[in-house]
Amino acid sequence: MANPKKKTTKSRKGMRQWKEKISSPNLVECPHCHHLVLPHHVCPYCGYYNGRPVIVVEKKKKKEKAA
């Protein structure tokens, strides 16, 4: 039976896996408002999914307080 010859240390495992953590999430353009959104998710900007409104999005409350 095939066995690894040496134990994989925490250091070596970390060196192998560091690049998996820094990859950015895949983004697609919302067909309704053209923001970049996560695929297969309701758009957080307009509340549309699959061409119809799913949730009601409250508009720009935080930006009005800051400005």
CB burial string 29-63: b at 16+ within 10 A, e below: ebebeeeebeeeebbeebbbbeeeeeeeeeeeeee
Say how far apart CA 30 and CA 41 lie, in whole Å.
Answer: 10
Binding residues for Zn ion (CB under 5 A): 30, 32-33, 43, 45-46
- Nearest approach in angstroms of CB 63 to Zn ion is 17
- Nearest approach in angstroms of CB 26 to Zn ion is 16
- Nearest approach in angstroms of CB 14 to Zn ion is 38
**Closer residue to Zn ion in complex, CB, 33/54:** 33
